[in-house]
Structure formats: C-alpha cells, structure tokens
Amino acid sequence: MCGRFVITHPDAALARLFGARPANDLPDTPRYNVCPTQPVATIRSEGGTRLLAPMRWGFLPHWYKSETDGPLLINARAESVATKPAFRAACRERRCIVPASGFYEWTKDDEGRRLPWYIARPGGAPLAFAGIWQDWEREGRAHRTVAIVTTEAAEDMATLHHRCPVVLEPADWALWLGEAGHGAATLMRAPAPGTLAWYRVDPRVNSNRAEGPGLIEPLAA
C-alpha cells in the first residue's frame, strides 16, 4: 500500500517532465510527509492536454454523503479496481498520475514498534504512481479526489512489504492517461526488481505532523 509519500521535485520540473500545464493552486513543495486527505499534485489529460493540478488524496465515491461517510479510500487494489463499484468507472474513464519523490512503508520489530523505511528510485528520479480520480460534491462542499493504485510487491520489495504502488514508466504514461488507446490494465503490475531501493529512517515520521528533510535521511546504524 502507500499511506505516506514525499514530493521534493519542484512544480516547474514536474510540468516539464510530464509535458503538463501547471495550475496556479498547486501545493507547496518540498513536502516530506504527505498524508491522506491533503491536496496532492496530479497529472490528468483533458482533450489531449495534460494538466498538473491538485486533488484531495482520499477517493470519495459519488454516493458518500460526507467526507467521512465511509472508509478513507487512499489506495485502490489493482486486482479489483476495474470491478469494485467505488472505482470501476474511474478506472475506465478517469485515470491520472500522482508524482512522488519517494514513499514510506513500515515494518515492526520484535517488540511491536513501527520502523519506517523510505523507498525511492536509486538515482532519485521522480516516481509516477498510477491513480484514479473522482469529483465529489455535497451541500456546497466540492472536492476532486484521487486514490493511488497498488499491486502485489515484486519479490525484492516483498521482503519489506507485500503491497506497492503501481509505478508507471515514461513509455506508459500516455496509455495510462487514456491518450494512446486501450490496454491500460496491462500496466497495473509491480515495479521491476531494482526499480526501487529503501533504507531505514527516523521514527519521527510515524507522526503525521512531522516535516522536514531530516525525515528521509538514512538512520544512523
């Protein structure tokens, strides 16, 4: 799964990388502890134009009567996203990309304490998470919301955690965004072994209020 992530790459750099037009209301960067329900930058395609714009992280199905009317849907499982009522229309019609510099996962020690790990590309290049989005509105409150698609982790990462975000490579972006015909389902697979690397980081990140570059510094042995 993916429950927290990091985005340090500037908006202008992301706009160039993805060939997208940036909105004026993107969240500030860098952010070292992006949490559910916060706004996140996303890329979607409208009429052949890519847009870099914010969405609320936490997918709200259209039948939710309030933001807390059901489970907080921050992730969508690749195995069921095309058939689950909450996600199936978005999977067909409203796919997007969530850029990230890295993300966190946790293991536990023998005493049950949560041990955080930072996961990123070995060279530091941005990650492109597969996402799906949904507009939601009730009683004057409106959100454009997003969930990150996850899948079973590849063999190397499965030693750390059994789930992983779907990471899209540049050659896959057009297909996922609906610009290159059908077949996006074939992209919902684990990153190839070696795509990601990880190391232990400070347990301060266990708090959703923690922030700052120290959160992604390797933990001293």
Tens of pLDDT along 161-198? 999 999 999 999 999 999 998 999 999 999 999 999 99
pLDDT band at 1 (very low <50, low <70, confident <90, very high): low
Tens of pLDDT along 26-78? 999 999 999 999 999 999 999 989 999 999 999 999 999 999 999 999 999 99
Among 126, 150, 18, which residue's Cα sits nearest to residue 74? 150
How far apart CA 87 and CA 81 sit, in angstroms, is 6
How far apart CA 212 and CA 101 sit, in angstroms, is 14
pLDDT band at 221 (very low <50, low <70, confident <90, very high): low
Q: Is 105 a catalytic residue?
A: yes
User: Is 90 exceeded by the pLDDT of residue 80?
Assistant: yes
Which H or E run contains 32?
Answer: strand 31-34
Residues 6+ apart with CB under 8 A from 10: 29
- pLDDT for position 128: 98
Tens of pLDDT along 104-137? 999 998 888 899 999 999 999 999 999 999 999 9
Residues 6+ apart with CB under 8 A from 115: 106, 107, 108, 109, 200, 203
- pLDDT for position 111: 87
Kindly name the residue from 46, 105, 111, 137 that is annotated as catalytic: 105
Alpha helices in 58-98 (DSSP H): 88-93
Q: Is 91 a catalytic residue?
A: no
Kindly name the residue from 2, 91, 96, 164 that is annotated as catalytic: 2
Mean predicted confidence (pLDDT) in 139-147: 94
Sorted by where each starts, the structural domains of the chain and their CATH numbers stand as 5-216 (3.90.1680.10)
The strand pair at 75-77 and 141-152 is best described as: parallel
- pLDDT for position 215: 97
Contact 116, 99 (CB under 8 A): no
